[in-house]
Amino acid sequence: MQLHRPHEYQPEHDVHRITLYNTVAKEHQHRDLKKRLYLHMDMNCFYAQVEQRAYNLYGLPLAMGGWRKPDGTPRGIVATASYEARALGIETAMSAYEAWQICPYLIFMQIDYARYQGISRELYSILDRFSPDVEKYSMDEYFMDVSFLLKKSRKEIAEYGQRLKNAIYEKLGLVCSVGIATSKTYAKLASGRRKPNGLLLVMNADDAAEHLFPLSLKKVWGIGSRRFAKLNSRGLSTIADAFRSGPGVFQKLFGEMQGKLFYEIVTGRDRAKVLDNKNHVPDEVSYMHTFSDWTTDADQVKGEIVRGIRNVCYRLRGYGRRARKWVFNLRYQDVNWQGDSVVFSTPGYTNLDDYVMHACLPIAMNMVEAALGAGERLRGVGLHTVEMIHSNQVELFFQEKENLLNLHRATDLINNVYGQNTVERAASRFGVPGKTHFVERS
């Protein structure tokens, strides 16, 4: 069971990751053809469900991610919504104002990542008792390898899934949907067909034909809007169409190897592994913050940039990585919410705030001043890495100063034990005013 110890880094603090890796990848496939059984567990409207339980809001329409200004005007974006709100037409990514127009009595709450991460750890501890192979796909989605059930009857497999659902409800008071199938892809699709609080087994071709064949190919891993458009131009729009076509169309559109893999995934023949991602390190570390309102104050934006640098560098130290090539993003408040970005480099590979700020701030603040001079209103900042290496690699022409290393080690230790904002730079206190950071908005 994975538990957090107080002195350890928390690189995923305040980070919500929809996926942890590129699922459609050869290295994530078993090489053998051995038959396996997978379970996918998906918490239903996770954020909203947790808040409904916490504040006894059952039966009421709840939107997560929006909030109200002092005059009552809704602001922000709907990150997710309860089923009561969805029934009224409230959708993910809808503006809070639009949602309020649909339902004037809609309850708005801001996302509390720390709470959900704690519950996610509890979920892992429950699932860990049901299978030795558990993969955290996101905070509210998990995969399990349950191949040990292959020789069991259909009834016994269904009872296993129901016991898991019951254990989660008894421990956390939360409901989930469960899909069990012979591929990870189909297990995920199966759980999606039984929302909320359902259970579906896809054990054979007849099950797939009944429950999954009518689904659009857009529902399948790796088939985004562009790939779907290509497939649709060849007359393929559903999983059933893919079965009838065979792999040839996929290989012509996406290449021999990748096309074959896409076809196997779509038809439930993939051999994807249940991955141990406890020590997963992303390909890049990024930070993006959209302010609750626009600003024309350069000093406020500078404070937000410092906060972003601090966030990214802390996470790099937690992952044991350093970077030397970075991208800074500045977002404008215009019709298209556009902005500018710039690539910059530090003197060498580093994960210390000081070096990144020294390289980033002059360039970033020039962009800020230029944008304000052109009459733009600023709405967000972002930062992400481009090149990373393991932190123990030694460079010939650059070495971080020992006093700075010791300062950050001491600061991180204090923050890891007592909370992430126990010790922070004074400049990060000068951010854009307003309820702009996570649970502060509630």
* Residues taking part in catalysis: 141
Judged on CB neighbours under 10 Å (0-12, 13-18, 19+), 208 is buried
Structure-block tokens of residue 317: 């130290």
Distance CA 38, CA 145 (A): 5
Structure-block tokens of residue 354: 């000081």
Nearest Cα to Cα of residue 191 among 183, 181, 199: 199
Judged on CB neighbours under 10 Å (0-12, 13-18, 19+), 354 is middle
Distance CA 304, CA 300 (A): 7
Instruction: Calculate the CA 384 to chain-centre distance.
Output: 16
Alpha-helix residue ranges (DSSP H) falling in 194-238: 205-211, 225-233
Q: What sign for the dihedral angle of Cα 400, 405, 406, 407? A: positive
Distance CA 351, CA 316 (A): 6
Distance CA 131, CA 38 (A): 11
Structure-block tokens of residue 112: 């509390």
The number of residues making up the chain comes to 442
Nearest Cα to Cα of residue 274 among 103, 391, 143: 143
